[in-house]
Amino acid sequence: MALLQISEPGQSLDPHQRRVAVGIDLGTTHSLVAAVRHGVAECLPALDGKVILPSVVRYLDPAAGGPGRQIGHEALAAQIGDPANTISSVKRLMGRTRAQVADVDRLSYTVVDDNGMAVVQTVAGRKTPMEVSAEILATLRFRAEDSFDDELFGAVITVPAYFDDAQRQATKDAAQLAGIPVLRLINEPTAAAIAYGLDNGSEGVYAIYDLGGGTFDISILRLTRGVFEVLATGGDSALGGDDYDQALAAWVLQQAGLGPVADAAERAALHRKARRIKEQLSAQDEAVFRAEVDGRRLEQTVRREDFEACTAALTARTMAAVRKVLRDAGVERDDVQGVVMVGGSTRMPVIRRTVGEFFGREPLTNLNPDEVVALGAAIQANALAGNSQDGDLLLLDVIPLSLGIETMGGLVERIVPRNSTIPTARAQDFTTYQDGQTALALHVVQGERDLVADCRSLARFTLRGIPPMAAGAARIRVTFTVDADGLLSVSAKEQGSGVEARIDVKPAYGLTDEQIAAMLQDGFATAQQDMAARALVEARVDADRMIAATRSAMAADGDLLDAAERQAIEALMTALSAVAASGSATEIEAATQALAKGTEPFAARRMNRGIQQALAGRNVAEV
Amino acid sequence: MNLQSTDFEIFGLPPAFALDRAALDARWKDLQREAHPDRHAAADAQTQRQAMQWSVRINEAYQRLKDPLQRASYLCELHGAPVQAENNTAMPAAFLMQQMQWREDLEEARTPEALERMADEVAAARRQMLAELQQTADQRHDWSALAGQVRALMFVERFARDVEERLDQLGQ
């Protein structure tokens, strides 16, 4: 197993010492992995030369022996013959209940409700959407590791900007199952903006119109000197190219006087045909739809106008979201300097025409709409891993949906408003209503509506360990923090006593930490590796990194420490080096923690200095 | 300077109502270039935690300083005259009459043109009130008067939002 290359942060990295950091576009219909090589972002091909991996996983009967599943092109080819076990568009199920999956009954595979989570029923048993996605992610990970002949330092994985907390958490869980360290989750339109912004290099306000297989995002960003600031984002996480396929299939059936198709295999075949016809109509004015339904042979000529008419409502929905996001951003359509088209579905002439007319300018399409998101993610991954020297790129993204808590009467009190720049934190004070109450329950929801019933339930947090007091005497400050990935965490402290409450999180839809740990124990996607050996290697790598980082920090800002403090830190580093050489994983982890604790005040002083310098730099420039 | 410093101190700006918006925006980006977690993604957990705290604080300060109403409210707090809108609902009679008239007009407005006219009227009132706020804060330094003006402006801004919402509904 190749060892991870470690270099001192800040030191110039020669190409052989760069960390392998990739960008992954985990799409509804297609997935890709890209990396920056020789200063250029490029998508990594599989052995057959194809960069696109269809987001399809087919589960095989375990009794038959063998690998148990097929992923990608193989699985897609098998879909017609085995639709019940071939899972496509699993992204639509991530972080969702069965009831929330649009047209769940029309899917060619079976989706059931498992404790509030939508899961698929296959011949190999129940599979959560995270497990299915993890198969796709693992395939891309192995592809990257083979390309570089080295282990992965980490990946930036993209998600639709409009994905809520549950959907984002599910994506992170899938990456964890696939053994991929996630450097950051970034929004797909922002990733596209990076690829275009750096390509075109001009400052200003951009609109990113991203219509993928299953999701639609519209984001407004401002680019100034390498800083990408998201002004507002909106969209529909259940609207995409798939819906255009379904609308066309429904129209064709209607023209033939037929109702919806009962047989799963036929339904799948019909949608695939509809997709091909849709693609043909992007290049030609008419196409002939031929299919067999219920034993009948169908032949229907479809003109481009017919297609555009039967999908007009879908296109109108996207434009309504565009108008809303412009208002949220406080920007007029004329202020928008460039409109970027992202996602294969933007190849449809009706989309380009409608968007072009709306903004009064030709949309930018020079980058491959299928690849642009992965390329942007790769550029960001490269920067986060510390590989790029200029360090000019900075993303200031926003949370797409408001976060709130349930209050009396099933109402929502909004705590973090939508389009707040992340990371962000808000505190809210609560008190108890009974004498001696030691716990508090909070229900956190996401959405813009006033009733809890109309918003997405994210999680129930139980705060325990509140010191018993008279009713109303406790002042519990609950802090809601949304990190740079757009994920929520909650902490609470009773102000009077300073006691920090313990928080138990029950996610509304998703896996608990215990469930993930159990899946990892069962050797998911890393079946071949010895868990203990891996833990030891990881502990050593962490220790090395910690020591290197501390040394470099002391070299840069050692003057912030007095002699005694410096000695203390040196001692911790020496102790850690010793344990790393011969100790067990747990011993190494403990020593790493000790060094971390010992350098905490130093880290605080360094950050302070950095901020002061940033300010001072500005002041001098202004004089 | 630390996490407990005031928003103005963090941004290196004088604690006044008048503010150079371009300078604020540029400074925000400079600060985040330094503090944002992405800048420290490959660093140790300590530094990452520090970065997160600073980045959150900087965003909080930016949001507050950027919005005139929040900025004025913050100044009141800094000078020991917090706004406390929930506990102070008394308003001058003339002001209340204006609010009631506006509400009635909103009820009756049926066309986008009528709503646009209302939006313009409210925007003009808001501009006027902001000019007065600046006087009260930067010239007279009268913090309790400022708190009163902030409370009044809160009514006006809420109403402006309602007008916009109605326009949105008509637009669909």
Tokens 């957990």 locate to: B45
Query: Known catalytic residue: A292?
Result: no
Confidence check: pLDDT of A29 > 50: yes
A484 and B53 in contact (C-beta within 8 Å)? Answer: no
Assign A534 a pLDDT band (cuts: 50, 70, 90). low
- The whole-number pLDDT of residue A623 equals 35
- The whole-number pLDDT of residue A321 equals 92
| C-alpha distance from B171 to closest chain A C-alpha (Å) | 9
Query: Known catalytic residue: A279?
Result: no
When mean pLDDT is compared across A240-254, A609-623, B6-20, the lowest value belongs to A609-623
Q: Tell me the domains of chain A and their CATH numbers.
A: 15-186 (3.30.420.40), 189-239+320-369 (3.30.420.40), 241-312 (3.90.640.10), 403-511 (2.60.34.10), 530-620 (1.20.1270.10)
Q: Among A19, A395, A599, whose Cβ lies nearest the Cβ of B46?
A: A599
How many angstroms separate the CA atoms of A539 and A285, rounded? 61
Q: What is the architecture, at CATH level 2, of domain B7-66? A: Orthogonal Bundle (1.10)
A395 and A228 in contact (C-beta within 8 Å)? Answer: yes
Confidence check: pLDDT of B168 > 90: no
CB contact under 8 A, B56 and A391: no
Assign A307 a pLDDT band (cuts: 50, 70, 90). very high
Neighbouring CB atoms inside 10 A of A414's CB total 16
A368 and A329 in contact (C-beta within 8 Å)? Answer: no
Chain A CB within 8 Å of residue B135 CB: no
The whole-number average pLDDT for the span B143-166 is: 92
pLDDT tens for residues A97-149?
A: 998 898 888 788 999 998 889 999 999 999 999 999 999 999 999 999 989 98
- The whole-number pLDDT of residue A506 equals 66
The whole-number average pLDDT for the span B42-48 is: 81
CB contact under 8 A, A396 and B50: no
For residue A474, CA distances in Å to A163, A433, A437, A465 come to: 36, 9, 9, 12
Return the axis-axis angle of helices B143-171 and B93-108, rounded to nearest 10°: 0
- The whole-number pLDDT of residue A36 equals 94
Superfamily name with CATH number, domain B93-171: HscB, C-terminal domain (1.20.1280.20)
| A618: chain B residues, CB-CB within 8 Å | 12, 26-27, 30
- 3-state class of A422 per DSSP? coil
- The whole-number pLDDT of residue A198 equals 67
Assign B1 a pLDDT band (cuts: 50, 70, 90). confident
- The whole-number pLDDT of residue B16 equals 96
Query: Exposed, middle or buried by CB within 10 Å (0-12, 13-18, 19+), for A264?
Result: middle
Catalytic member of A131, A151, A210, A397: A210
Q: What is the DSSP string of A436-503?
A: T--EEEEEEEESS-SBGGGSEEEEEEEEE-PPP-STTT--EEEEEEE-TTS-EEEEEEETTT-PEEEE
How many angstroms separate the CA atoms of A61 and B128, rounded? 74
Q: What is the mean pLDDT of chain A?
A: 87
How many angstroms separate the CA atoms of A500 and A467, rounded? 10
CB contact under 8 A, B59 and A423: yes
Query: Exposed, middle or buried by CB within 10 Å (0-12, 13-18, 19+), for B162?
Result: middle
pLDDT tens for residues B73-82?
A: 999 999 999 9
Q: Which of A27-31, A508-512, A583-587 has the highest mean pLDDT?
A: A27-31
What is the dihedral sign for C-alpha A462, A466, A469, A473? negative
Q: Where exactly are the structural domains of chain B? A: 7-66, 93-171
* A·B CB contacts under 8 A: 118
Confidence check: pLDDT of A286 > 60: yes
Assign A199 a pLDDT band (cuts: 50, 70, 90). low
A342 and A25 in contact (C-beta within 8 Å)? Answer: no
Q: Among A184, A614, A615, whose Cβ lies nearest the Cβ of B38?
A: A184
Query: Known catalytic residue: A210?
Result: yes
- The whole-number pLDDT of residue B47 equals 86
**Beta bridge partner(s), residue A386:** none
| A596: chain B residues, CB-CB within 8 Å | 44-46
Confidence check: pLDDT of A457 > 50: yes
A425 and B56 in contact (C-beta within 8 Å)? Answer: yes
Query: Known catalytic residue: A435?
Result: no
Assign A620 a pLDDT band (cuts: 50, 70, 90). very low
Best B38, B52, B63 residue to mutate vs chain A (most A CBs within 10 Å):
B38
How many angstroms separate the CA atoms of A533 and A536, rounded? 5
Residue of chain A nearest B35, judged by CA positions: A611
Query: Exposed, middle or buried by CB within 10 Å (0-12, 13-18, 19+), for B137?
Result: buried
Catalytic member of A25, A151, A217, A494: A25
- The whole-number pLDDT of residue A522 equals 66
The whole-number average pLDDT for the span A540-557 is: 86
| C-alpha distance from A396 to closest chain B C-alpha (Å) | 8
Instruction: Give me the interface pTM, i.e. the ipTM.
Output: 0.85
Assign A507 a pLDDT band (cuts: 50, 70, 90). low
- 3-state class of B80 per DSSP? coil
**Beta bridge partner(s), residue A302:** A287
Q: What is the DSSP string of A556-588?
A: HHGGGS-HHHHHHHHHHHHHHHHHHHHS-HHHH
